[in-house]
Structure 1
Amino acid sequence: MSSELFIGLMSGTSLDGVDALLARFPADGTAMQVLGHLHQPFSKPLRDELLALNSPGDNELHRAALAGNAVARAYADVVAQLLEACCIQAAQVAALGAHGQTVRHRPGEFDGCGYTTQLLNGALLAEQSGVAVACDLRSRDVAAGGQGAPLVPAFHRAQFGQVGRDIAVVNIGGISNISLLGADGSTLGFDCGPGNCLMDAWIQEHLGHEFDASGAWAAQGQVSTALLDRLLAEPFFTLPPPRSTGRDLFNRAWLDSRLQHADLRQEDVQASLLELSAQTIAQSLLQHSPNTTELLVCGGGAFNTQLMTRLQALLPHTQVMTSDARGLPVMQVEAAAFAWLAMRHLRQLPGNLAAATGALGPRLLGALYPA
């Protein structure tokens, strides 16, 4: 049984904390079984430091190293809680897949290879959790000429794909990324653009809320066509797949440069940011998989009622629903994907999908720190 148990740990661009999931992946290849899940928010000092490290600053190497240690300790605490809740010993778990916290994502830039940086001290996590750690899961794909993202399409195919039906899965975290699961067995995936990151930043600044619950504040505003046009003029949105992005591009400086001379109510800006997220997701689907019958939404954005309503309005011929409807709750999908990547690493199987990332081919992803 021990060789079939894996943990996935995910902390994404939204910086809301860690999702941890314990799953069994039977050796015979039958369906994954979720045994437990929990979410643990980051402490405010850690969240603030991780957000600050997304931008150049003083003494970055020292601060990043300490933040990587802090992320490892936060992860280890979540693992301990998850194992206790599931009555499982660390020794029974084959490995955990840990994402780490992305603070830079610049694949293919500068020297032809570029880099992607996720803060996490994998050795410390292995020491403190007592579980083998598969981490740094994006770098090998980047080294092979890929974007290093998204890594979830292969898992989405395994979990949600159906022969004879075009299905899409969109994860709306800080950034939104989509997986297109073709009826013919083909799979494509790429980043659409900002998911929640700009909306969260705007409401945090103006109302002091962590996020716009249900999109209620955005629903009070009116979309500014002029602002939306300036936002949509970003060249990233016209790039063909494979493509990936992050806070390196979609940040407050990017938004501020497009808000210059705009005389708008705060809620109108929020409504326009929500419309940006909805339209970039919808256009990604309509351009690359127009016959999709079902769009499964996961991630924190799935709780944004206004965003879900706009997606359905923009995609009248596609049924928009949460991943819960297909057996995996919205906040478990990404953590499950990283448990799946740990399983793939330990079983010496490739974890990337070259059609999604643009890598030269399938690669074994990650580095392993034994327990």
Structure 2
Amino acid sequence: MHGKMMMSKVMRALGLMSGTSLDGIDVALLETDGEKVVKRGPALICPYDDEIRQMLIAATAEAKTLQSRSERPGSLAGAERELTDRHVSAVAQFLKKNGIDNATIELIGFHGQTVLHRPEAGLTVQLGLGDVLANATGRPVIYDLRAADVAAGGQGAPLVPVYHRALIEKLPSRPVAIVNIGGVANITWIGRDGDLIAYDTGPGNALLDDWMQRRTGAARDDDGAAAARGTVDENAVRFLLSHPYFAKPPPKSLDRNAFTLDAIAELSTEDGAATLAAFTAQTIAKAREFLPQEPELWIVAGGGRLNRAIMGCLAERVHHAVVPAEAANINGDSLEAEAWAYLAVRSDKGLPITFPGTTGVSKPLTGGVRADPAPARMPS
């Protein structure tokens, strides 16, 4: 179905990522044939304001009652429309800032905002109207990239590993672990022969962000400053690590709200932050229990790489170097947005985006839905 000429065609794609964190929208440009990374372009972060953040927090809480992917009760429908409009705006901002002609963009990969992820129940819900985005931007949009995998019995996450493998193709170290610490933390293990193992290791920044919001009104613990002033409550860490998720072998994936702050409710702000940073680091280090070989290099992307407490705790717990993404010539902020551009191209070409070693699906599988902009109407 997909001929050789099509397979080798390089496309100019935009990736839009909002994911499980509530920070904002990441936009990145990538030129790729869906196999090799030809050229990484500019990127932009469009932070959420308090209005949309609160809207999405309410929508995520409301989504806990969903029984089907298509339901949009209560505030969910309004949040989905507002979120989509914010993405339209983010694309416009990106193009204007970088002097890029919209007509040169061949494809947009649209993640949307995850509000529910329960693959064991066959449910994963990302808010975002692909057809509205396509019509507003005038460009084809690939969206809903997790659904086909979940419908086939996979975890629907993580999806970025195949892009991780393309990015580190020329690195001499093997095996390599790429850890993304967003709302949820996940690991990609890339073996010497390119084999992939990937799964969610546990909470990334989500619990810590929620803690800081509750205690200080701040959206995050910038630079891990609060955690650095605190003392880790080892009993609380042990209690959190007793959750059955950590003993379960991969493939596995996690909902952002799978854990609560109850275990640290009585701690000071600083001690709670330190405890949560240590918990995140410990769950990443525990990933080694399920890997065939110890990684020779740990590359950390996502907002968590900027938290000194998390990075320091992780470095203490593993046996090889732990470095931020930039040390491996990877943009730790735009990595996932780039990945969504890459996955959109793979999806458009019918190439697999999930694999038995990454989501537990029975065989390599493509996915995603394509929305083309409505044709322009001729004036009557």
Question: TM-score if structure 2 supplies the norm length?
Answer: 0.89
Which residue of 109, 118, 123 corresponds with 1:115? 123
- Are positions 1:168 and 2:177 aligned together? yes
The equivalent position to 1:20 in structure 2, one of 5, 27, 32, is 27
Q: Distance in 2 between matches of 1:181 and 1:168?
A: 6
Does residue 44 of the first structure (1) align with residue 50 of the second (2)? yes
Structure 1 residue 163 displacement after superposition: 6.9
Paired amino acid for 1:98: F
Distance in 2 (CA, whole Å) between partners of 1:177 and 1:207 is 27
What's the CA shift for 1:212?
A: 0.7
Alignment of 1:294-333 (within 5 A): 294-315=297-318, 317-333=319-335
Q: Letter of the aligned partner of 1:51 in structure 2?
A: I
Q: Does 2:279 match 1:276?
A: yes
* Partner Cα distance (1:227, 1:108) in 2: 27
Tell me which residue corresponds to 2:75: 63
Separation (CA, whole Å) in 2 of partners of 1:69 and 1:208? 26
Q: Indicate if the aligned counterparts of 1:3 and 1:94 stay in contact, CA closer than 8 A.
A: no
**1:129 is aligned to 2:137:** yes
Q: Aligned equivalents of 1:264 and 1:6: distance in 2?
A: 46
Deviations 1:133-164 (A, max 9, x none): 10001000001110000001111111114577
How many residue pairs match? The answer is: 359
Once residues 126 and 43 of structure 1 are traced to their aligned partners in structure 2, the CA distance between those partners, rounded to angstroms, is: 24
Measured against aligned partners, the alpha-carbon deviations of 1:270-316 in whole angstroms (never above 9, x if no partner) come to 1111110000001113542542111110000011112111111111x
1:31, distance to aligned residue in structure 2 (A): 3.1
Distance 2:9 2:58 in 1: 39
Distance 2:62 2:372 in 1: 33
Shift of 1:351: 1.3
Unaligned regions of 5+ residues in structure 2, if any? 1-7, 66-70, 374-380
Distance 1:32 1:322, change over 3 A: farther
Q: Deviations over 1:81-102 (max 9, x none)?
A: 2222333222221111110000
CA contact (8 A) 1:164 1:184 kept: no
Match runs of 1:1-371 below 5 Å: 4-26=11-33, 30-56=36-62, 61-109=73-121, 114-161=122-169, 162=171, 165-250=174-259, 254-256=260-262, 258-259=263-264, 263-315=266-318, 317-371=319-373
**Native 8 Å contact 1:166 1:289 kept in 2:** no
- Whole-angstrom distance in 1 between the partners of 2:283 and 2:316: 13
Deviations 1:179-209 (A, max 9, x none): 0001132110000000111111111111222
Normalising to structure 1: TM-score of the pair? 0.92
Q: Distance in 2 between matches of 1:300 and 1:285?
A: 22
The 1-side partners of 2:353 and 2:256 are apart by 24
Quote the RMSD (CA, aligned, Å).
2.0
Deviation at 1:210, TM superposition (A): 1.3
Identical columns (%):
38
CA distance in 2, matches of 1:137, 1:30: 20
Structure 2 residue identity aligned to 1:52: A
2:317 partner letter: L
